[in-house]
Structure 1
Amino acid sequence: MTDGTDEQTGEQKGERIAKALARAGVGSRRDVERMIGEGRISLQGKVLESPAILVESLAGIRVDGEAVGEVSETKLWRFHKRKATLTTHKDPEGRPTVFDKLPNHMGRVIAVGRLDMNTEGLLLLTNDGALARWLELPSSEIVRRYRVRVHGRVDEKALKKLADGVTIDGTHYGAIEARLEKVQGTNAWMTVAIREGKNREVRRVMEYLGLVVNRLIRTHYGPFALGTLQPGASASVGEKQLHDVLGDFFKDAPKSVAAPEKKLDPSKWAKPKPKKVKPGTRRRRPFNKLEGDDAKAPSMRRPRSKAEARAGDQKTDQKRDQKPGPRQGQKPGQRSEGRPVSKSSGKPAGKPTGKPTGKPTSKPGTRPAHHAPKAGPKGGRRK
């Protein structure tokens, strides 16, 4: 324990215990100050009475008799809050809270902001109090999106005016985006987006418009969405995604005795799996741009030059000249009568094509000569 003054330089050293414990995920700074007032936090075996204590490490600090360890790395979880649960660690009346049935591997976590008892949907949980505070600050302008079911008649003109902000009972609320989705009898569904996240902001604004909220679901908190999470379920946000979407926080994150600065190791981040090609689909070869001498070679993807086109036309003309033309006295396109004659025998080759021309030599009803019966062995007719 120290009073926070260096004997040689006279400068304060260490960090306020409320800030250090908030960074360690014990709770918000206000929660830690309240816990100190209740006598639940001790340092080196002595119960603290004032939050104005500076510490240089978490060694010797106990909360409710349990030692507080350093934060290994910043983690964040998405959680689907059920209706009729409280966003608090302990309730004097014994009502259910969101922290009652969390998995043991999550350890001690704190909620990013609060949802009232009858509000359901997305709730972010983290082990880093500094991250929770950064996400909650109005200056961060993190957008929270809700689906709201109200009872009453919705005036769409009044909804559009909310984009300029509104002051209710001396409290000013910033720009609010509200849009009517559908009407079901005396109820209506709307989508509402806010950036400040003040206490019961959506409900108070709807009451100001003469509407009664009978269901309120938070679907998005900044870049994080509720998705398909079932009520009471939680899902961890990957380290890579966390640093990608919250790069501004990690760039300017304050140092703390509760979380020593550590370098990131991107090699441990999960790499995206290659897309699988379904059976039967055709794989297309990617087009590689030709460079250097290869660019001069003809390609199906490159149009022919004028010289190449002229050379191709000349070849076509030569092939056409080599084809035999029509016979003398025959018009172009007219068939020649008869069959071609074989060179060896002088007889027509192949089978006759087309219909025979000229008059028949035999009378009707008589057999042709080639169908006459053949003679027998003694010159008589074959029986």
Structure 2
Amino acid sequence: MPRPPKKFGRKPGGPRKPTGAPHNRSRPDGPPPKRRAAPAGRPAEPREGDRLQKVLAAAGIASRRECEQLITEGRIQVDGEIVSELGARVNRASQEIRIDGEPLPRPKLQYFAVHKPTGVVSTARDPAGRPRVIDLLPPGVGRMFNVGRLDLASEGLIIVTNDGELANQLTHPSHGVEKIYEVQVAGVPEPDVLAQVKRGVHLSEGFVHAVDVRVKGRKKGSTILEMVLDEGRNREIRRLLARLGHKVQRLTRIAVGPVRLGEMPRGAVRALTPEEVRKLRIAAAEGPKPEREDSRPAVRRPPRPGGPPRKAGANIGKVRPPARAVKKPVKPLDAEPVRRIIGEDAPPPSRPKPAQGNAGPPRRPGGPGKRPGGGPGKRPGRGPARGPGKGPGGPKRSGR
């Protein structure tokens, strides 16, 4: 049996729903309902500082895995409280850390200068098992940090230290600590090429340039340059010079701030003097040097035709008026859209009109109803017109 159709509308005699106001399921009167409060628990720890197991391993207590075991066993105290969570973070400079009740010994800050040879990697870990810079250090120095890197084919000075704060200042480009490189390139760079090195070029990471560059010497078929950089990107010097048409044949870093490579042999290690460490801290605290005027490419305008030459600095302090907006013609709304037809359905191109210079002689004006070159009913250059229905073979047969 089919179902009766559903009736819409209010029931007779029932309350009528008010119109003109949106339906609101919330309470019409009184304050809004309060949200359920989050369950009370331990507040989240700040994300500042380093992980506790990392700090313990950096102090030379044990490996990081063994330090994690010390934490889970409840043998570590931070500010008098036992910490057994591996995710805890601590501030080594402001918090007191104890192991089995004994204060954590602060490591002695050490600073080394290493002459990295070619074929030695600057990373702390190498899956290929190649020799590393930290392998050249004396045994038992603990966890150390490289100040900057050199690629596998480059050599020169690398500073290694366990002073993480100073290492970060020396490597971060915001501090602008200058590094000096001795670069041997193929060919003889012209003066405009050296000027372009200082002005800079655009690479995939952005705009790069050298603080200074000068010719230090020449060899057969090559030139030795001395370049100064205040930042260190991946293979920056090699890519910068290759962009300008000069391949780098040899690259040696000879200075990091006030510390010089000097006559150190390849693979040698020496401890920095207190005076060198003091100068390094001063160089890192000074910040970046002011940008040179010629570090960015200058745009030179051509001289005005028929006018006096422009004076240098004539536009300094002048405010340029805003450019006028170009009004484009507005297409009417009722305009019929233009339909373009392409492919085989497109109409053939119209025959081009002859140019004015190639136009033939003007036609002779003929009289009304007359064709030039013949009388009425005659076509020029042809015989008499055929009559209707008669062709060259006689009268046309019907289609019966």
* TM-score normalised according to structure 2 size: 0.49
Cα distance in 1 for residues equivalent to 2:137 and 2:275: 24
How big is each residue's C-alpha offset from its partner over 1:220-249, in whole Å with a ceiling of 9 and x where there is no partner? 000100011111111111234412441476
How big is each residue's C-alpha offset from its partner over 1:36-55, in whole Å with a ceiling of 9 and x where there is no partner? 9xx797363559xx996413
Choose from 120, 124, 130 the match for 1:89.
124
Alignment of 1:164-203 (within 5 A): 164-203=199-238
Deviation at 1:126, TM superposition (A): 0.3
Gapped regions of structure 1 (runs ≥ 5): 1-5, 27-34, 61-68, 253-383
Cα distance in 2 for residues equivalent to 1:210 and 1:22: 50
2:70 equivalent in structure 1: 44
Alignment of 1:270-289 (within 5 A): none
Alignment of 1:275-354 (within 5 A): none
Cα distance in 2 for residues equivalent to 1:223 and 1:144: 9
Q: Report if aligned partners of 1:85, 1:97 keep a CA contact under 8 Å in 2.
A: yes
How big is each residue's C-alpha offset from its partner over 1:3-52, in whole Å with a ceiling of 9 and x where there is no partner? xxx96x987497232896499489xxxxxxxx99xx797363559xx996
Q: Using a 3 Å threshold, how does the CA distance of structure 1 residues 181 and 23 change in structure 2: closer, same or farther? A: farther
How big is each residue's C-alpha offset from its partner over 1:263-299, in whole Å with a ceiling of 9 and x where there is no partner? xxxxxxxxxxxxxxxxxxxxxxxxxxxxxxxxxxxxx
Q: Report if aligned partners of 2:113, 2:157 keep a CA contact under 8 Å in 1.
A: yes
2:181 equivalent in structure 1: 146
Q: Is it true that 1:123 corresponds to 2:148 in the alignment? A: no
Cα distance in 2 for residues equivalent to 1:78 and 1:96: 17
Larger RCO (alpha carbons 8 Å, 6+ apart)? 1
2:260 equivalent in structure 1: 225
Q: Using a 3 Å threshold, how does the CA distance of structure 1 residues 164 and 21 change in structure 2: closer, same or farther? A: farther
How big is each residue's C-alpha offset from its partner over 1:320-341, in whole Å with a ceiling of 9 and x where there is no partner? xxxxxxxxxxxxxxxxxxxxxx
What's the secondary structure of 1:44's corresponding residue?
helix
Q: Is it true that 1:17 corresponds to 2:51 in the alignment? A: yes
What's the secondary structure of 2:120's corresponding residue?
coil
Q: Using a 3 Å threshold, how does the CA distance of structure 1 residues 16 and 103 change in structure 2: closer, same or farther? A: closer
Q: Using a 3 Å threshold, how does the CA distance of structure 1 residues 207 and 21 change in structure 2: closer, same or farther? A: farther
Q: Using a 3 Å threshold, how does the CA distance of structure 1 residues 170 and 101 change in structure 2: closer, same or farther? A: closer
Please tell me the residue identity of whatever aligns with 1:125.
V
Cα distance in 1 for residues equivalent to 2:135 and 2:239: 29
Q: Using a 3 Å threshold, how does the CA distance of structure 1 residues 132 and 211 change in structure 2: closer, same or farther? A: same
What's the secondary structure of 2:134's corresponding residue?
coil
How big is each residue's C-alpha offset from its partner over 1:46-92, in whole Å with a ceiling of 9 and x where there is no partner? 59xx99641356667xxxxxxxx654343211111111110123321
Q: Report if aligned partners of 2:255, 2:261 keep a CA contact under 8 Å in 1.
A: yes
Q: Using a 3 Å threshold, how does the CA distance of structure 1 residues 101 and 156 change in structure 2: closer, same or farther? A: same
1:74 equivalent in structure 2: 109
Gapped regions of structure 2 (runs ≥ 5): 1-40, 74-84, 288-400
Cα distance in 1 for residues equivalent to 2:171 and 2:185: 26
Q: Using a 3 Å threshold, how does the CA distance of structure 1 residues 231 and 168 change in structure 2: closer, same or farther? A: same
Q: Using a 3 Å threshold, how does the CA distance of structure 1 residues 194 and 19 change in structure 2: closer, same or farther? A: farther
Q: Is it true that 1:160 corresponds to 2:195 in the alignment? A: yes
Deviation at 1:153, TM superposition (A): 3.7
What's the secondary structure of 1:210's corresponding residue?
coil
Cα distance in 2 for residues equivalent to 1:99 and 1:134: 20
Please tell me the residue identity of whatever aligns with 2:170.
L
Q: Report if aligned partners of 1:24, 1:70 keep a CA contact under 8 Å in 2.
A: no
Q: Report if aligned partners of 1:25, 1:129 keep a CA contact under 8 Å in 2.
A: no
Percent of residue pairs identical? 27
How big is each residue's C-alpha offset from its partner over 1:128-179, in whole Å with a ceiling of 9 and x where there is no partner? 1111111001111111001111113412212112223321235221443121
What's the secondary structure of 1:99's corresponding residue?
helix
Give the aligned length. Answer: 228
Q: Using a 3 Å threshold, how does the CA distance of structure 1 residues 25 and 231 change in structure 2: closer, same or farther? A: farther
Please tell me the residue identity of whatever aligns with 2:261.
L
Q: Report if aligned partners of 2:166, 2:281 keep a CA contact under 8 Å in 1.
A: no
Q: Report if aligned partners of 2:53, 2:86 keep a CA contact under 8 Å in 1.
A: no
Q: Using a 3 Å threshold, how does the CA distance of structure 1 residues 226 and 215 change in structure 2: closer, same or farther? A: same
Which structure shows the higher helix fraction?
1
RMSD (CA atoms): 3.9
Cα distance in 1 for residues equivalent to 2:199 and 2:279: 32
Shifted more, 183-192 versus 121-130: the winner is: 183-192
